[in-house]
Amino acid sequence: MSIALSGVAAAGANPRRRNYARHYWWFVAPCGVVVFATILFPWVFTLFMSVHDWKLGGGRSFIGLANYQRLFTDERFGWAVLRTLYYTALAVVFPMLLGTAAALAFNRKFPLRGLARAIFILPMMATPVAVALVWTMMFHPQLGVLNWLLTSMGLPPSLWVYDANTVIPTLVLVEVWHWTPLVMLIVLGGLASLPVDPYEAAKIDGATPLQVLRHITLPLLAPFLIVALIIRTIDALKAFDTIYVITQGGPGTSSETINIFLYLNAFAYYNMGYASAVVVVFFLIIVALAMLLLWARQHFKDAA
């Protein structure tokens, strides 16, 4: 024992062995460089740009927090924030409801269930831009198939994305069609992992199917629903491709969300400084919402 201890002591005294850890950094360095180049540097540079008046193709000058001050007085930005929240609320609630209902239906055994599931998740496989282009043709007020269907059934035609009042619900319709299958898949995975015991106990106690759903299934599914909610919320907040392809923020500015506003400022008006300030504020909004949802998830866990 004493020999072993003295051996360790000797090794510790060896300067080469003692400084060995410093060589580990070389192994971490490649990852460190990648993280710095792709995450840290863009962020630092965005913050740097946000405190400058920076026009692409022109000069730049330091203006402190003027871009942020301008944001809080910019009516167009204010409306873009409200529209983003409205769009997000609709594009989260409907896929969550429909996805959960679909998962409960597909969890039951019925003939050709596998085929039905596969067909249901097909929209999720489609490329968003291609989907948006097809929907754009379908929404055409005179030549689109949707108005043809409505009028064939004796219903009045709609202006869909060609009217300021209906544009956001119509865009949400595309989002719901596209992403409800994702919620369904997450919830279906949750349903498959639920224990059988509570259901057997409920059956013995004579619980109705609605009581089973309300008091057993939904509480047990809560962690999965929260995960789906977080994913959907972040996806809906950053929705860009569908809106840009179908309406480009129009008619007027009636579907201009923060992403569209940001894109126009950066790449159509070339106001890189102002657009960077929008990025920073938008990031803070997303972080705040994500933290709220994570807190809710923890709350459900603790309650369970």
Partner 1 sequence: MNPTEWITRRGVLGATTALLAAPPMIETANAQSGFDWRRFRGQRIEVSLTQNPRSQILISNQREFEEMTGISVGAEAIPEQQHRQKFAIEFTSGRPSFDVVGISLHVSKLQIGRAKWCTDLTPMIQDASLTAPDFDFADYGQGIVEYARQADGRLDTLPEFTDYFIMYYNKELLAAKNLGVPRSFDEMVDSARKLTDPSRQIYGNVGRGLRNANVVLWTQFLLGTAQKDTLNAQRQLITDTPDAIEAGRIYQTLMRDCSPPGSVGFNWNECQTTFMQGRAAMWIDGVGFAAPLEDRTRSRVAGKVGYAVVPRGSASHHCCMFGTSFGIAEASQKKGPAWLYLQWASGKANQLRYLTGGAGSPARTSPYRNEEAIKASRFPRDFFDTLVESAAISRPGLPIILPVTEFRDTIGTALTNTIGGADVATELKRATDAFRPILEASERAA
Residue 57 CB, shortest distance to partner 1, in Å, is 4
Q: Does 63 bind partner 1 (CB under 8 A)?
A: no
Q: How many residues bind partner 1 (CB under 8 A)?
A: 28
x-or-dash string of contact with partner 1, 242-261, rule CB under 8 A:
-----xxxxxxx--------
Q: Retrieve residue 161's tokens.
A: 């994305």
Cα–Cα distance, 184 to 190 (Å, whole number) = 10
Q: Which of 142, 152, 193, 208 binds partner 1 (CB under 8 A)?
A: 142
> By CB under 8 A, is residue 123 in contact with partner 1?
no
Interaction of residue 148 with partner 1, rule CB under 8 A: no
Q: Is 152 in the site for partner 1 (CB under 8 A)?
A: no
Considering only residues 267, 283, 292, 298, which one is a binding residue for partner 1 as defined by CB under 8 A? 267
Our finding on whether 270 is near partner 1 (CB under 8 A) is: yes
190 vs 249, beta carbon nearer partner 1: 249
Q: Is 159 in the site for partner 1 (CB under 8 A)?
A: yes
Contact between 154 and partner 1 per CB under 8 A: no
Interface with partner 1 by CB under 8 A: which residues? 55-59, 140-143, 157, 159-164, 247-253, 264, 267-270
